[in-house]
Chains A and B, each alone.
Chain A
């Protein structure tokens, strides 16, 4: 049976690491990194043990344990975990990929003087993410949701002295906060409706029994509000704007948070609480279309990017859109499958990009990199594996998971299938573009600092995680992930027609990109070919400009109005008015004390008469 102690250790190990680093080791670089790695590895080992325990029995075991936390008359909130196959798979991804990235960042951040702070924040993030994975009720989930947002803000703005990084952190936090408002509304609405005789509850297991009793339109509203949280956290249109600027953070942060785990938290939420969304077709359609639009739009925008991390960020956006679309089509298994394989190859791609950036001393523009395959073979080959997996080439893991989604779309909704297929083709195109420009070619020349020391392969502490992730990306399709995620569901058959079509599209995309970018060029030839449309792409479809205008004019005016109202009315009129009233009252009334004793006697007798009249009237 599943032992709860292992789960609690896996839960709190990274928090212990974070606290230790913050309290004692903020000056030592080596100790802080080792403590952080120890924390996440402990969680990983415990997760592996729990995994074996769960799948020892058939059907797989499930465990829920809660500690009482808040117990009022009408409000009960517990703190606990719900361990089932879905949770343990997600936990394995988070801790496994997380361990690889922690080890990698030991090498990447060793030149940075404030790396202990980095490892403390990273451990805090790991704790929050594990909290989201394991939570068994909405309020606890929301707490860790916000904590993850906080860790993301801290890590994006890690180099806070750089204004663009600080701004990017604030932007990420604000956009997430906006979506979390809708999320919280949905949580509370669901809670208020959840009384079917045993009192209201936030727990998932209780809500599973509540959902069949809800009115359909209320359920749709709840589902859409909960989806608001997903829109923000998993960066769907229209709240996708933060993810691109989040690349200001160090590359391990981008790999861990903005590729593999945090942005996947939205998908995980949808899968975990899919029983809320499943009965409502309106909500599911909305979700599917949002995902599809995000996927296509991100793929189009990636074509016009020149920063290696931003291209990868757009590809993350596109794949997240695909996952959300899969969930909207009623396929949590397909969505989670793609999430798992995506975690592998996206982390791999980001770490590879980090390796390139590190070797070129923080150069990020792809037009300043060329022909690195010869000089950095391990990075180059693993990057190639990642690119092929992302494009969906047989037999890598990406092929299986993406085809599961495309097969689902083909069977249910042809518009969505077309959009998804187009996005996949564009994915292959721009990833090919990236690979040819950065790694292909004969003579490695980089523009800036031509006399710097030779470009060389990154140290082993960085390449070993790359190799590990590359192996996972390659064999990911064959280890039977869907079976572990949703053991009750029968495995999906591979739709041969869809598989063939998608492979052809991918190969076309790669080939097309080779045609344009295979030979070494000075600048992007697409700029001239697309002309005006390219400017639109460069402005990212004007989302940032519109949002910026809105915040600067409408929101600021509103804020200024409210501030003025508060200052004038509340402070000067109400509060100041009370004091003025007291002061002027006092000034008037002090003339009653004029020192004439007979006047006092008069008032005295007047009072006595009034009292007497009052008593007479009462009679």
Chain B
């Protein structure tokens, strides 16, 4: 059972990420990413990391990608006018570099023999177990990330303030 699920979710994940990169319409890009996150979450559940799987869905797919969708809708993009001459040269170069990366990854991977023979352990990433560790050993990072989020909010609000005033000038002129 397990291999079947793994391979199907992995295939969906790969196809979705290809769609993220290759699709023309920005809307399709975002929606493909949503699909990818869904399959990712399923993979996490396969690995018995339930907590992070759910968090991924709630935070990522639920909030971040929705935010992406808002912006895409806001910006009113034309799908056609996105062809540019200057970057055509680098498209194939970028693809080549990506392939180089993939191959060097395989190269590195070949030497990691243990990966082929390891046995999975029996831990389960449920809310209780994660919560126990989070609030005892990893309390400090937890609090610091809340500070980080606060700073991010400050940043966005100040950027938006500037945008608002510029926007006002644009509208008035």
Contacts and interface: CB of A to CB of B under 8 A. Distances in A.
Given A596-B87, A599-B90, A605 B108 contact: no
A612 interface: yes
Interface string A601-619: 0100110010011001000
A612 B100 CA distance: 11
A543 B100 CA distance: 81
A606 B94 CA distance: 9
Nearest to A603: B97
B7 interface: no
B108 A609 contact: no
A606 B101 CA distance: 8
A446 to B, nearest CB: 100
Given A609-B104, A612-B104, A616-B108, A602 B97 contact: yes
Contacts of A5: none
B139 interface: no
B90 A598 contact: yes
Contact of A609 (B86, B87, B100): B100
A609 B90 contact: no
Contacts of B86: 596
A609 B87 CA distance: 22
* Chain A facing B: main interface SS: helix
B167 to A, nearest CB: 25
A598 B87 contact: yes
Chain A: interface size category: 10 to 19
A597 to B, nearest CB: 11
Contacts of B100: 606, 609
A99 B100 CA distance: 94
Contact of A606 (B87, B97, B107, B108): B97
A609 B90 CA distance: 17
A599 B87 CA distance: 9
Interface in A428-458: none
A602 B101 contact: no
Contacts of B107: 613, 616
A613 B101 CA distance: 10
A612 B108 contact: yes
Contacts of A612: 104, 108
B96 to A, nearest CB: 9
B93 interface: yes
Nearest to A599: B90
B92 to A, nearest CB: 11
Contacts of A606: 97, 100
Contacts of B94: 598, 602
Nearest to B100: A609
A598 B90 CA distance: 9
Contacts of B90: 596, 598-599, 602
Contacts of B97: 602, 605-606, 609
A591 to B, nearest CB: 12
B98 to A, nearest CB: 8
Contacts of A613: 104, 107
A605 B101 contact: yes
24 contacts: A596-B86, A596-B87, A596-B90, A598-B87, A598-B90, A598-B94, A599-B90, A602-B90, A602-B93, A602-B94, A602-B97, A605-B97, A606-B97, A606-B100, A609-B100, A609-B101, A609-B104, A612-B104, A612-B108, A613-B104, A613-B107, A616-B104, A616-B107, A616-B108
- What 9 A-B pairs come out closest when comparing CB atoms? A609-B100, A606-B97, A609-B104, A612-B104, A609-B101, A602-B94, A605-B97, A602-B97, A599-B90
Given A598-B94, A606-B100, A613-B107, 12 more contacts: A596-B87, A596-B90, A598-B87, A599-B90, A602-B90, A602-B97, A605-B97, A609-B97, A609-B104, A613-B104, A616-B104, A616-B107
